[in-house]
Amino acid sequence: MKTTDPKEYMEIVSDCLNSLNFENIYALSRAIHGTIPQDQTVFVVGNGGSAATASHFAQDLAKNSIVPGKQRLRVLSLTDNVSWLTALANDISYDAIFREQLLNLAKPGDLFIGISVSGNSKNVIEAAKIAEVLAIRRWCLVGGTWGELSNICPSVIHVSSKDFGVVESVHSTILHWVVDEVRRLIEGR
């Protein structure tokens, strides 16, 4: 759905925000915070615009969860190592770019967060599948028709729009709140 009216667009985004399952958003924050005592890693992936969202979220989460005197959060966006991504895409396949990184880096109990507007990004799906094999907890953020990714991840945050800009805006808003909530949990507030 496209509109030339900015007020209408913002109302659409607002409606999507208000229709979210807020308990799932709290649960994601608690799951991320729960990785700290076990020194587990949070891996974040996305494709296209969702890759930018994954990178931004991981950076915000890593930086803003630093609390003096508290154990640090381990978080990594697998979208950010261009030389590794391009080598994997060239030598194996584009669908394998996140899966292969998880095989090198992940351990049971870690946390995987896949972001895909359509829920059908093959490289994110392949990563979620290997995360399941590796006994990594799986979350995803999707939009529209949910997609295949939501069938692989037992924990899903869904945005009820098929418009990629609306979904990406809502995903960013959710994840900014999650960053703030994880910090509050670390601080004990």
pLDDT at 93: 98
Q: Are 83 and 97 in contact (CB under 8 A)?
A: no
Residue-range definition of the domain harbouring residue 32: 24-162+172-187
Mean pLDDT over residues 145-170, rounded?
97
pLDDT at 148: 98
**pLDDT of 117 above 80:** yes
Mean pLDDT over residues 64-92, rounded?
97
pLDDT at 189: 78
**pLDDT of 3 above 90:** no
Q: What is the mean pLDDT of the chain?
A: 97
Please give the Cα distance from 16 to 3 (Å, whole number): 16
pLDDT at 1: 60
* Owner of token pair 């409606």: 15
Residue 16 lies in a domain: no
Q: Are 138 and 154 in contact (CB under 8 A)?
A: yes
pLDDT above 70 coverage of the chain, percent = 99
Structural tokens at position 42 = 């949070």
Residue 58 lies in a domain: yes
pLDDT at 151: 97
Residue 99 lies in a domain: yes
Mean pLDDT over residues 179-183, rounded?
98
pLDDT 10s digits, 100-116: 999 999 999 999 999 99
Q: Name the helix (H) or strand (E) containing 160.
A: none
pLDDT 10s digits, 14-44: 999 999 999 999 999 999 999 999 999 999 9
pLDDT 10s digits, 126-141: 999 999 999 999 999 9
Residue 17 lies in a domain: no
Give the CATH number of the domain where residue 135 resides: 3.40.50.10490
Domain count, the chain: 1
Q: Are 102 and 79 in contact (CB under 8 A)?
A: no
pLDDT at 17: 97
Q: Are 183 and 38 in contact (CB under 8 A)?
A: no
Residue 131 lies in a domain: yes
Mean pLDDT over residues 159-181, rounded?
97
Residue 110 lies in a domain: yes
**pLDDT of 2 above 80:** no
Cα 100 to Cα 76, 96, 120, 152, distances in angstroms: 14, 6, 18, 18
Residue 72 lies in a domain: yes
Mean pLDDT over residues 64-84, rounded?
97
Q: Are 170 and 24 in contact (CB under 8 A)?
A: no
Residue 2 lies in a domain: no
pLDDT at 4: 82
Please give the Cα distance from 39 to 79 (Å, whole number): 22
